[in-house]
Structure 1
Amino acid sequence: MADDKPCLSRREVRRNDRRDAIVAIAQAYFLDHGYAATTMSGIAGTMGGSKATLWSYFPSKEALFEAVIDRATTLFRQRLTPLLDPDGDFESGLRGFMLRFLEKLTQAESVALHRLVHAESGRFHEVGRIFYDRGPRTIVHLAGAFIGRAMDRGTLRRDDPVWAARTLIAIGMAGSHQQLLLGLVDVVTPEMIAADADAAIDTFMRLYAPAERPA
């Protein structure tokens, strides 16, 4: 069977590679300097190219920041999706999701990105919007779809599955991740992440437990 995927020309491959390199440089630059202090000229200088070259890939700093967030979240979503197997055990799938989610969120790069967004979104609303649309919103809807199917099967009581997903994630982020953001701890261990995941799932399952049927 022939492969339906279009074959890219060498020029297109080089352009895609160049774009990926620009986004990687921009991500490091945004995290080091913040959104306000980042300029297209500064990124062009760091990558060793002209500003015209940079503008040929990205028409604005906002578009470049959006690409940075896409880069940071796309692969993460792809790794989370297989964990939410609708035919598998619900609690095991949910625990695997929470463990991987919290592992990612407590990495130094993720903590730095969250700090940047919280620091800059008050002055630059596009920062908060782009981050929310590409990150938290997509993860919540991914988990919400999984939770909604469990509600359909009666594993959980019926409620808004997206709100239930927000509740689960908020509980999970209230532990080690919050302490990292506030500088209360410098290192999070696998044991701390596992404890946060277990506590979040235990609370969630009790909160959304199906009502007992009368005898």
Structure 2
Amino acid sequence: MTAEAAKVRKGRKFDQVVTGARDIFLRDGYEGASVDDIARAAGVSKATLYSYFPDKRLLFLEVATGQCQFQTDEVLSGVDLTRPPREVLPVAARSYMRFVLSPLGQSIFRVCVSETERFPEIGREFFECGPKLVHTYLVSYLQGAATRGEVAIDDLDLAAHQFAQLCKAGLWDKLAFGIQDDYEPAELDRVIDGAVEMFMARYGT
């Protein structure tokens, strides 16, 4: 357990607090979310909220890591990992990218970038439960696909990173830099379909 995690106290209303915080962070982002609004949404007093989470940063970290884990579980439950890449990769990529591109996903990224210098544990925790976890599962899936003869990949680690970056092409940058604040589903389909085609053109057998 990290020193930060040790500061968080579990209790009867813990899940209630986290659920309320998630709703407010999703609505207002990290900076715009007030402790008063979070307490109201959770149906608890500010004193109760602070008894579980000494500061808003720790509460946001709990929401962020929980959502990343939930999203990863949802991706895995929605695909049959024994199927070939042209079936699995588009479904998994769409599911995960919808979270990455969502207001909450963008808020998590911005907070990690802005706070990591002062609070490096935020970046580490988010990386471990988000990008690294997804990367690990993708490497494992590609290893299985290679064993079945569906892809030919010498460097699985690099290939997994490449696919993840291809899935962000254009869309992620525009949202991250505030060029646009939303995207059309057709845009995501275009990017994901292109990513799968390029990936399979390189690694498909």
TM-score bracket, shorter-length normalisation: 0.7 to 0.9
When the two chains are superposed, the root-mean-square deviation of aligned CA atoms in Å is: 2.7
Task: Tell me which residue corresponds to 2:30.
Answer: 32
**Greater Rg by CA:** 1
Structure 1 residue identity aligned to 2:186: E
Task: Tell me which residue corresponds to 1:185.
Answer: 180
Task: Tell me which residue corresponds to 1:168.
Answer: 163
Counterparts in 2 of 1:1-215, with a 5 A limit? 15=12, 18-27=13-22, 28=24, 31-33=29-31, 43=35, 46-47=38-39, 48-51=44-47, 53-54=48-49, 56-58=51-53, 63-210=58-205
The Cα of 1:46 is off from its aligned counterpart by 4.7
Task: Tell me which residue corresponds to 2:5.
Answer: none
Listed one character per residue, the Cα deviations across residues 67-121 of structure 1 (whole Å, up to 9, x for unaligned) are 2223211221121003442322321111111111222222222122222222222
Unpaired stretches in structure 2, ≥5 consecutive residues = 1-10
Listed one character per residue, the Cα deviations across residues 184-213 of structure 1 (whole Å, up to 9, x for unaligned) are 123211110001101111111122234xxx
C-alpha distance in structure 2 between counterparts of 1:46 and 1:193, whole Å: 32
User: Are 2:65 and 2:125, in contact at CA under 8 Å, matched by a contact in 1?
Assistant: no
The Cα of 1:62 is off from its aligned counterpart by 6.2
86-95 vs 189-198, greater mean Cα deviation: 86-95
Structure 1 residue identity aligned to 2:92: F
**CA gap 1:148/1:59 in 2 versus in 1, 3 angstroms:** farther
Task: Tell me which residue corresponds to 1:8.
Answer: none
The Cα of 1:132 is off from its aligned counterpart by 0.5
Task: Tell me which residue corresponds to 2:6.
Answer: none
C-alpha distance in structure 1 between counterparts of 2:154 and 2:163, whole Å: 13
C-alpha distance in structure 2 between counterparts of 1:169 and 1:191, whole Å: 19
C-alpha distance in structure 2 between counterparts of 1:77 and 1:129, whole Å: 17
C-alpha distance in structure 1 between counterparts of 2:86 and 2:204, whole Å: 12
The Cα of 1:145 is off from its aligned counterpart by 1.2
Listed one character per residue, the Cα deviations across residues 125-171 of structure 1 (whole Å, up to 9, x for unaligned) are 11211111111111111222111101111211132323321110111
**CA gap 1:61/1:86 in 2 versus in 1, 3 angstroms:** same
The percentage of counterpart residues that share the same residue type is 24
User: Are 2:153 and 2:159, in contact at CA under 8 Å, matched by a contact in 1?
Assistant: no
**CA gap 1:187/1:19 in 2 versus in 1, 3 angstroms:** same
Q: Secondary structure at the match of 2:117?
A: coil
Instruction: Output the TM-score relative to the length of structure 1.
Output: 0.75
Structure 2 residue identity aligned to 1:173: K
C-alpha distance in structure 1 between counterparts of 2:203 and 2:46, whole Å: 55
Structure 2 residue identity aligned to 1:196: V
User: Are 2:72 and 2:96, in contact at CA under 8 Å, matched by a contact in 1?
Assistant: no
Structure 1 residue identity aligned to 2:122: V
User: Are 1:179 and 1:185, in contact at CA under 8 Å, matched by a contact in 2?
Assistant: yes
The Cα of 1:65 is off from its aligned counterpart by 3.9
The Cα of 1:122 is off from its aligned counterpart by 2.8
